[in-house]
Structure 1
Amino acid sequence: MYNLIKIKAYEVGLAFKNGKLIEVLSEGTHWYKWGYKVDLYDLTKPFNPPTNLDILLKNNTLNNMIDLVEVGDNEIVLKYVKNVLTGILPTGQYAYWKNVLDYTLVKVDISSVNPPDINPTMLENKLLINYLRKFNVDNNQKGVLYIDNKFVKILDAGTYYFWRNATVISMSLVDIRLQQTEISGQELLTKDKANIRINFYIRYIVVDIVKAIINTKEAEKQLYMLIQLAIREHICLFTLDELLAKKEVLGKEITDFAKEKVSQFGIELVDGGIRDIILPGDMREIMNQVLIAEKKAQANIIMRREETASTRSLLNTANLMKDNEMLWKLKEMEYVEKIAERIGEISISGSGNIVGQLKEIFTK
């Protein structure tokens, strides 16, 4: 007894009997005996049989129709169809039908660190993303590359890709812009034993990445400690009054003193200075009292100066009036005018000596 089966275009049939491949059926109509099992496969898709592929390929007809691709450990295969990446084949065995689709398979060794010369746009393909490690270095940064925990090189701004494999790859990012550190709340004793707190700032640039990152552990902390010691070393040499008087100059002196020492960390100091000198409560009260006393003394000096000038002016006026009767009369008239402004009504006789009468009235 026979069964009929039709094989369509771009199909192939595999006839099995008792699990053994007996015949490969091409496009067309075929009769096969009862007890045979025919599996149909699409020639445009990969060949994924349910049984062991190596056993099936012992059939010469099938073997001649198949492209066998074996992907080893630390390898992947990039599958291109008409120059378009359509798939990634990880470790394993794959079979494709020959002479059906135009495809290209490219085997890539991913045990190395860097991807081969692949189009950069391909590296962003979502099919490749699970096989790559991506690092970004911004314009204001430098990248420090480590492979297997060993320093390799300094990377400029850009995007970098590495295969995702057993190799340990890491990157540290270093900011190369102008940076600022605050050394706040430093409690110190001045030369005259005044207890003060100082806030200091320092601005710097990382100029040698190897010194700052490779040769120095936590360069920023080292910088902080060095500036802290420089502040303590300088402040104790001055009294409180001297500190307040030369605050700006002292900040520059401390910065210049520390410049050479921090260069060993790969850091260049740009500038720095004392932001605040903070006195304790009792000291502030004393300073306020001193300030008030100084201002009062200045005010008294000004008042005495004005009084002296006024007295000198009166003396000069008196000397002039002593020698000039007309000026004396004018001065009398001036005072009479001022007094008369405050009196509502004055009665005088017409004898002619009006000024004398007014003088007599105001002196009664």
Structure 2
Amino acid sequence: MTMLDILMRRRRVTLTEAERALVIRKGRITDILGAGEHMLRRADVVERHDLSDPVFVSTLSDALTRERPDLVDTHLTVLRTGADEIAVVSKDGRLFEVMTPDHRRVLWTDAGPWDVERINLIERLDVNAKLGDRLTRARMTNAMTVVEVSATEVGLMLVDGVLTKTLTAGAHRFWTVGRKIVVKMVDLRWRAHDVTGHEILTRDRVSLRVNLSADFRVTDPVLAVTAVKDFEDALHRALALAFRKTLGALTLDALLADKMAVDAEAAEAVRAEMAAIGVEVGAITLKDVILPGDMRDILTGVVAAEKEAEANVIRRREETNATRSLLNTAKVMAENPVMLRLKELEALETIAGKVERLTVHSGTEGLMNDIVRLRD
């Protein structure tokens, strides 16, 4: 500072290329200074700003926009988004910020250059694939959501509770600001649904529990989701009601005798009801019939008695056959003495093989005479 500056109440302010300054004189903004040396009054207030932070932040921002629009146009870039608009701001070709609806941002123009891509959310909610990849790499995904749909599913997108789109297999990105987006996944593969422990009362008033199983798949995802609140719950109720009606018209003996016939009677009613809501039903089976404890003991006793009676019949039949065989053998021996003697010799051979010593009381001579007599 020179003597002349002191006498004229002046001061020098030097700014670098990375700085800008607001000059406030007597409470009013008079200028915005760029790089270089500037001569100011000693009473002037200087508010310095570093361009390394390109966002203009000052308590005088609104006053500057209102009172000195000429300075704003020269030095600042003002961005605003509408109620249904998103702005993707890039600085020198690189993503800088994603501005959500109803926002305002003031940037230093010299910190740019700035590029702005505006997106109308009323016209489209999906994010362009190229832009979505850029935002994902830059980790600027706060304003969007990513939904991945597998090859065996479809996604039903609801915007503010209204079904708007069906998503096929792949990755999908959507702007989520200002909207409530819900994607409901629907599996298109064949699946099994079980109804376990369902209680019914047969025609002869026997209470029992049954386990049912049905194979199904969704053929019309939109109809399946919109026609009923939960299509699997609807299938559960359809199976339970159809089989309760069918099984309740049968006696316990008929039910236990032929379970497959019961399945055929109830299947068509279930298939027709579920086809109306976009669900195809395949095989329906009655897997188990569970009897109460006392009834199970009774049936076990009945089965045991039946099997015992069958065993007695078989035993008597075998005894009769054995007796008839002995009678035939006796008749043959009575008519043929040689056969009788041969049987005696076979018995004697069997006995001789089991004892160490054998005594023949009639002697060898008597034995040979008997053989000769048999031969005569």
- SS in structure 1 of the partner of residue 262 of structure 2: helix
- Bigger shift: 198-207 or 87-96? 87-96
- 1:20 paired to 2:28: yes
d(CA) in 2 for partners of 1:81, 1:260: 61
d(CA) in 2 for partners of 1:167, 1:5: 50
Q: Which residues of structure 1 form unaligned runs of 5+?
A: 358-364
Q: Name which of 86, 106, 109 aligns with 2:96.
A: 86
Return the offset for 1:204: 1.2
d(CA) in 1 for partners of 2:32, 2:201: 98
CA distance 1:247–1:13, change in 2 (3 Å): closer
Relative to the length of structure 1, the TM-score reads: 0.83
- SS in structure 1 of the partner of residue 189 of structure 2: coil
- 1:68 paired to 2:78: yes
Which residue of the partner structure matches residue 117 of structure 1? 128
Which residue of the partner structure matches residue 246 of structure 1? 258
The letter of the residue matching 1:35 is A
CA distance 1:126–1:348, change in 2 (3 Å): same
d(CA) in 2 for partners of 1:195, 1:65: 87
- Given that 1:17 and 1:36 are in contact with CA atoms closer than 8 Å, whether structure 2 keeps it comes out as yes
Which residue of the partner structure matches residue 361 of structure 1? none
- Given that 2:19 and 2:48 are in contact with CA atoms closer than 8 Å, whether structure 1 keeps it comes out as yes
The letter of the residue matching 1:162 is F
Return the offset for 1:246: 0.9
Which residue of the partner structure matches residue 262 of structure 1? 274
- Bigger shift: 318-327 or 333-342? 333-342
Which residue of the partner structure matches residue 346 of structure 1? 359
d(CA) in 1 for partners of 2:156, 2:357: 98
The letter of the residue matching 1:139 is A
Which residue of the partner structure matches residue 181 of structure 1? 193
d(CA) in 2 for partners of 1:179, 1:216: 19
- SS in structure 2 of the partner of residue 180 of structure 1: strand
Aligned pairs for 1:97-176 (under 5 A) are 97-98=109-110, 101-110=112-121, 112-115=123-126, 117=128, 119=130, 120-124=132-136, 128-176=140-188
The letter of the residue matching 1:68 is V
The letter of the residue matching 2:77 is D
d(CA) in 1 for partners of 2:93, 2:70: 32
- Given that 1:113 and 1:167 are in contact with CA atoms closer than 8 Å, whether structure 2 keeps it comes out as no
The letter of the residue matching 2:114 is Y
- Given that 1:47 and 1:97 are in contact with CA atoms closer than 8 Å, whether structure 2 keeps it comes out as no
Identity %: 28
- SS in structure 1 of the partner of residue 78 of structure 2: strand
Return the offset for 1:34: 2.5
Relative to the length of structure 2, the TM-score reads: 0.80
The letter of the residue matching 1:75 is E
Which residue of the partner structure matches residue 362 of structure 1? none
- SS in structure 1 of the partner of residue 17 of structure 2: coil
CA distance 1:139–1:328, change in 2 (3 Å): same
d(CA) in 2 for partners of 1:211, 1:47: 53
CA distance 1:303–1:149, change in 2 (3 Å): same
Q: Which residues of structure 2 form unaligned runs of 5+?
A: 1-5, 371-376
CA distance 1:302–1:131, change in 2 (3 Å): same
In the alignment of these two chains, the number of paired residues is 355
CA distance 1:307–1:86, change in 2 (3 Å): same
The letter of the residue matching 1:28 is G
CA distance 1:284–1:21, change in 2 (3 Å): closer
The letter of the residue matching 1:311 is T
d(CA) in 1 for partners of 2:303, 2:69: 107
- 1:290 paired to 2:302: yes
- SS in structure 2 of the partner of residue 352 of structure 1: helix
CA distance 1:342–1:93, change in 2 (3 Å): closer
Instruction: Map Cα deviations across residues 126-176 of structure 1 (whole Å, 9 max, x no partner).
Output: 654222244443433322233333333333233433333444433333232
- SS in structure 2 of the partner of residue 297 of structure 1: helix
CA distance 1:114–1:312, change in 2 (3 Å): same
Which residue of the partner structure matches residue 374 of structure 2? none
